[in-house]
Amino acid sequence: MEAPPLPEQAGRTFPRLVELMQRLLAPDGCPWDREQSFATLRRYVLEEACEVIDAIDGGDRKELCAELGDLLLQVVFQAELARAEGAFGPDDVVAAICEKLVRRHPHVFADESAENADEVLRNWERIKAAERARQGKDRGVLGGVPRSLPALTRAQRVGEKVARVGFDWPDARGSRAKVEEELGELDRAFESGDPAAIEEELGDVLFALGNLARHAGVDAEGALRRTIDKFTRRFEHVERRVIERHGGWPAKASDDTLTLEELDGYWDEAKRGEQRT
């Protein structure tokens, strides 16, 4: 099946994906697909979402197109499972998000106004809270932040949510001061030697850093991921040098002739190599 040229695309191929999924789940369809449930598909939703993120970070649009398709498959797959239960179907999923987008963009589809992106977000939260209250689902400002999010992302989302109702510092200086305060409390916890206190205060530092990242306009999860990637690249250089000079890592402690100074030297080589490129 060929997609129409980009200027002509309007989502008309979506029914074909629904049709294929229905065929796979038919009595004479795919045995593996027919064995799946919401619970068994849960891990694939996460995996495919992460692969989309990797494709975005990699900057490969062809790869991103493929990964978005895999993620869309999970949406259609679960919608068809729900249809078999009599709960909802793929058309209900699309209709629900379309209705939500119209409701939450009154500055586009109604007579309200929004001067900037911050005002749009505040209106979004206000409308969302009103909807939940009408449905008897009012879980508060933070009720909509998924607990299964990566911790740094969740911390930043929590900060964003409370900021929209005014619970925030006016600028990054207050957030930076909070980091300093939490570091002081962490130092005192280390001095006490209390593992529980150290864990709690370390968590407070990480949360404060997430808030500081938000004030700086930095995605904390992305920043940490890129730092881990950088560390991995540099350590791979260290490991190559160890193999070149020593034939690999020592098999036992008595054979260990590597010094930290030597390993640091290889690390510095990796840093210098990055700076040249």
Domain stops at, among 73, 94, 115: 94
By CB atoms closer than 10 A (0-12, 13-18, 19+), residue 115 is exposed
> What is residue 95's DSSP assignment?
H
Q: Is residue 250 very low, low, confident or very high in pLDDT (cuts 50, 70, 90)?
A: confident
CA nearest 245: which of 231, 264, 261, 266? 266
We report the CATH number of the domain holding residue 165 as 1.10.287.1080
Q: Is residue 252 very low, low, confident or very high in pLDDT (cuts 50, 70, 90)?
A: confident
Q: What is the pLDDT of residue 254?
A: 67
Query: Does a structural domain hold residue 41?
Result: yes
Q: Mind listing the pLDDT tens digit for each residue in 115-139? A: 899 889 888 888 887 888 788 776 7
Supply the angle between the helices 195-216 and 172-192 in degrees, to the nearest 10.
170
Q: Mind listing the pLDDT tens digit for each residue in 29-64? A: 999 999 999 999 999 999 999 999 999 988 999 999
Question: What secondary structure, in 3-state letters, does 138-193 show?
Answer: CCCCCCCCCCCCCHHHHHHHHHHHHHCCCCCCCCHHHHHHHHHHHHHHHHHHHHHC
Q: What is the mean pLDDT of residues 192-196?
A: 96
Query: Does a structural domain hold residue 121?
Result: yes
- The verdict on 13 and 67 lying in the same domain is yes
Map tokens 């969302």 to a residue: 128
C-alpha pair distances (Å), 228 with each of 147, 160, 186, 222, 261: 23, 25, 23, 10, 22
Residues 6+ apart with CB under 8 A from 115: none
What is the span of the domain harbouring residue 165? 151-218
**In the numeric block, which tokens belong to residue 160?**
């964003």
Query: 138-163 burial, b if ≥16 CB within 10 A, otherwise e?
Result: eeebeeebeeeeeebbbbbbbbebeb
- The verdict on 244 and 271 lying in the same domain is yes
How many distinct helices (H) and strands (E) make up the chain?
Answer: 12, 0
Q: Mind listing the pLDDT tens digit for each residue in 58-113? A: 899 999 999 999 999 999 999 999 999 999 999 999 999 999 999 999 999 998 88
Query: Does a structural domain hold residue 90?
Result: yes
Q: What is the mean pLDDT of residues 185-198?
A: 97
- The verdict on 226 and 213 lying in the same domain is no
* Vertex 121 angle, CA 205 and 116, to 5°: 115
* Amino acid at the residue 236: E
Number of structural domains found in the chain? 4
Query: Does a structural domain hold residue 56?
Result: yes
Do residues 204 and 198 touch, judged by C-beta distance below 8 A?
no
Measured CA to CA, the distance from residue 118 to residue 113 in angstroms comes to 12
Q: Is the pTM of this model over 0.85?
A: no
- The verdict on 161 and 208 lying in the same domain is yes
Measured CA to CA, the distance from residue 143 to residue 128 in angstroms comes to 11
Measured CA to CA, the distance from residue 47 to residue 26 in angstroms comes to 25
- The verdict on 115 and 187 lying in the same domain is no
Q: Mind listing the pLDDT tens digit for each residue in 165-177? A: 889 999 999 999 9
- The verdict on 60 and 107 lying in the same domain is no
Q: Which 3 state secondary structure label does DSSP give 36? A: coil
Query: 182-200 burial, b if ≥16 CB within 10 A, otherwise e?
Result: beeebeebeeeeeeebbee
